[in-house]
Structure 1
Amino acid sequence: MTDAATPPTRSLETLDALTPEQTEAVTQLLAEAARTDGQPAVSEQGRLQLRGGPREGVRHLLLLSGGELVGYAQLEDTDPVEAPAGELVVHPAHRGRGHGRVLGQALLAATGKRLRVWAHGGHAAARHLAQLLGLTLFRELRQMRRSLDPSAFAEPVLPPGVTIRSFVPGQDDEAWLRVNAEAFAHHPEQGSLTQRDLDDRMAEPWFDPAGFFLAFRDGELIGFHWTKVHAQEQLGEVYVVGVRPGAQGGGLGKALTTIGLRHLAAAGLPTVMLYVDADNKAAVSVYERLGFSTYETDLMYRTES
């Protein structure tokens, strides 16, 4: 007979890929945590990387207690310059028992104490865990929102010679990936997207090429605005706006943003959101002038080394 006071046995598995059953268990854990916390604890990229087999540089950490999945962490080591990036979550019913610290210490051990970790929403418990792990605040990512009204956005003014059309899957993939990489060469997550990453997103239920706008000049792609709709929340998103270097400064970014906002407003969505780095003062200022204000903030912590 087992003593009822004996704590369940805790074990940690580190895997290069998850089985369908493991993927389902992690997905359910993430859903329970999101209902409690008000936002996902793992980014969209991290959620996409749960399935589809092994991915270079990506590892999954499963924390079990008494055979039950109580925590999950993901480690991505694909950036040639920056430290590996991690995300972690503990099931709401199993918090306050040291599971988060175990996952955090496992991430530190796996990276030789060279680590960046996201705390989505910046909750107090996440800030406390970062302190326990010896991590310092490194980056703030703002989620900004504004209401949508079709009459609130004037007709966009495009630079001379620029035309707009929607993205065509299979036809525009290569050109978009190239311009995206050029536009976000300074951005480790967005600028490194691959064909597999694009395919993952195009396979998602939310993907709609009609809301993916491309700007051309003389037949060459120079900018884009990819919008997204969170149907369950009735929330639009400025998913990503990019302008190719050399085409910036002529008002194309503002015009593309406006085109996407008008599209989302015409769809009857009441609110739109976007993400922007807090230290990107120029972009924050542009979005504030467009009526956006900060809704919540995601925090990234890192080791000093």
Structure 2
Amino acid sequence: MTSDDIAQPGRPRSLRTYAALSPEQTEAVLALLAEAARADGQQAVSEQGRLQLRGGEREGVSHLLLSVDGEDGELVGYAQLEDTDPVEPPAAELVVHPSHRGRGHGRALGAALLAASGKRLRVWAHGGHSAARHLAQVLGLTLFRELRQMRRPLTGFELPDPVLPEGVTVRTFVPGQDDAAWLAVNAAAFAHHPEQGSLTQRDLDDRKAEPWFDPEGFFLAEREGRIVGFHWTKVHEAEGLGEVYVLGVSPDAQGGGLGKSLTTIGLRYLAGKGLPTAMLYVDADNKAAVSVYERLGFVTHETDLMYRTET
């Protein structure tokens, strides 16, 4: 653990970095995130980032806590830095409590992230709000990536019957039995994707332990007993949303329509649960995937932006 105390007129500001958070610190961060989500209409830290708050130390992950009135004072800001990609710069997410914005806390967190990363940094701005864009400019970051959230209704639309390639069958995921095989196919399917392609057994276990996990909505496509594709769905009960959570096809099975068939199977499953709307995330520059989803009735709902230092 390291510390960096920053002077602020009237209320001293303390910024400290931890390899792991205590249960009390974790709860404080989650409360801050909840307040920010209520004000902003979306989470400032991704699902992966929220999962990494718990469970002790994780290789390459650090947590920055910004408080006022000293080390044990009120938590007003949080940032997470993940340095696990062997090629890309470290990636970060940050948030400031809604009632403490406009006082330089975001800039302080950003400056600390730049220092910790050796000025090689990528930062997510979920929702692409104007304040985040301004902070990126102040920190000297440039737009690097656009992640779209797309949605479509699940009611009043006819979903076509899926047509699977010859020799392919579909079943649901069996926890424990399918873990290693699925992780291998996921890594191959997302070799180009720094977050999804690097999932580990611990990451999968984190998700299996979540209340939303349901193997009945996790579909595996097999050919001759080998997994060649998958569609993992997720239900957001409170929001009434069904998510195309992860959809992947093994490189040697691409181009035969399996991805579209798996998408349809998952959407029909979500519609059968009575959910009114489906959502998914896709990179804006993945033109082929965007085109497939648009043909299935999806339209862009909002965007997340990633900024980075100049390389």
Q: Same fold (TM over 0.5)?
A: yes
The one-letter code sitting in structure 1 at the alignment partner of 2:135 is L
CA contact (8 A) 1:150 1:266 kept: no
Which residue of 2 is the match for residue 139 of structure 1? 145
What residue number does 2:121 align with? 115
Match for residue 43 of structure 1 among 42, 46, 57? 46
Distance in 2, Cα, partners of 1:7 & 1:125: 24
What TM-score, normalized to structure 1? Answer: 0.98
2:97 matches 1:91: yes
8 Å contact 1:150–1:262 — kept in the other structure?
A: no
How far did 1:152 drift? 1.6
- List structure 1 segments (4+ residues) > 4 angstroms apart after TM superposition: none
> For the residues of structure 2 that align with 1:88 and 1:7, how far apart are their CA atoms?
24
Matches of residues 1-305 of structure 1 in structure 2 within 5 Å?
Answer: 7-66=10-69, 67-149=73-155, 152-305=158-311
Deviation at 1:215, TM superposition (A): 0.4
Using the aligned pairs only, state the percent identity: 80
Question: 2: CA distance between counterparts of 1:150 and 1:187?
Answer: 34
Shift of 1:276: 0.3
- The answer for unaligned runs of 5 or more in structure 1 is none
Deviation at 1:36, TM superposition (A): 0.5
Give yes or no for contact 1:206–1:230 (8 Å, CA) kept in 2: yes
Q: Matched residue of 1:75: which SS?
A: strand
SS at match of 2:292: helix
CA contact (8 A) 1:41 1:87 kept: yes
Q: What SS is found at the alignment partner of 2:17?
A: strand
* Residue 62 of structure 1: how far off its partner (Å): 0.1
Structure 2 letter corresponding to 1:201: R
Distance 1:6 1:101, change over 3 A: closer
Q: Judge conservation of contact 1:116–1:303 (CA < 8 Å) in 2.
A: yes
Q: 1:8-60 CA distances to partner (integer Å, 9 max, x unpaired)? A: 11001100000000000000000000010011000000000000000000000
- Match of 1:131, as an amino acid? Q
Distance in 2 (alpha carbons) for counterparts of 1:294 and 1:80: 32
Q: Which amino acid is the alignment partner of residue 133 of structure 2?
A: R
Which letter maps to 2:131?
A: A
One-letter code aligned to 2:52: Q
TM-score w.r.t. the length of structure 2 is: 0.96
User: What letter corresponds to residue 204 of structure 1 in structure 2?
Assistant: E
How far did 1:149 drift?
A: 2.5
* Distance (whole Å) between structure 1 residues aligned to residue 192 and residue 9 of structure 2: 51
SS in structure 2 opposite 1:246? helix
Instruction: Give the whole-Å Cα distance in 2 for the aligned partners of 1:33 and 1:160.
Output: 49
**How many residues are matched?**
301
Shift of 1:151: 5.3
Instruction: State the distance in 2 between where 1:49 and 1:7 align.
Output: 34
